Structure 1
Amino acid sequence: MSPPPDPVHILAERVAALAELCRRLADENRSLRNSQEQLIVERAQLVSKNEQARARVEAMINRLKALEHNA
């Protein structure tokens, strides 16, 4: 018959497993924060491009209206 499991050994294994889980979660959290930062930058760039396109379209519309009034 095998001896009963050592409570200290069981506790040490659980602490090691929790430490590994903590490390993996910290890595995942870091990765998610990096992804979020990249998405924020990308969104800002897209908003800027959208505003530039809107300004160009509005300028074209105004030029067309001016041509229409002059014709």
Structure 2
Amino acid sequence: MSAHEQSLLAIGDRLDRLLELCRALQEENRSLRHSQEQLATERAQLLARNEQARSRVEAMIMRLKSLEQNQG
């Protein structure tokens, strides 16, 4: 086998490794995007629940203040 053929084989091997790396990175990227979407959804749900809890606490405080004023 000539040096030229060996060089071509080496280049072919490198290309194969690069293609496999690209496929792996694409899959990892897809997985990370999916995780990011799930986390964003979870964050939005947590923010909504936090807002609901805050509203309930504020309503309780207002009722307590009202009771205080009615008793005072």
Structure 1: distance between partners of 2:42 and 2:68: 39
**Residue matched to 1:68:** 68
1:52-67 correspondence to structure 2 within 5 Å: 52-67=52-67
Matched position secondary structure for 1:41: helix
- Matched to 1:64, the amino acid is L
User: How many matched pairs?
Assistant: 70
| Residue 13 (structure 2) pairs with residue 18 (structure 1) | no
**Residue matched to 1:50:** 50
Deviation at 1:3, TM superposition (A): 6.8
Q: Structure 1: 5+ residue runs without aligned partners?
A: none
Q: Structure 2: 5+ residue runs without aligned partners?
A: none
**Residue matched to 1:36:** 36
- Matched to 1:12, the amino acid is G
Structure 2: distance between partners of 1:3 and 1:10: 12
The TM-score, its normalising length taken from structure 2, stands at 0.92
The TM-score, its normalising length taken from structure 1, stands at 0.93
The CA RMSD over aligned residues, in Å, is: 1.5
Spell out structure 1 runs of 4+ moving beyond 3 A.
2-5
Give the structure with the higher percent helix.
2
- Matched to 2:37, the amino acid is E
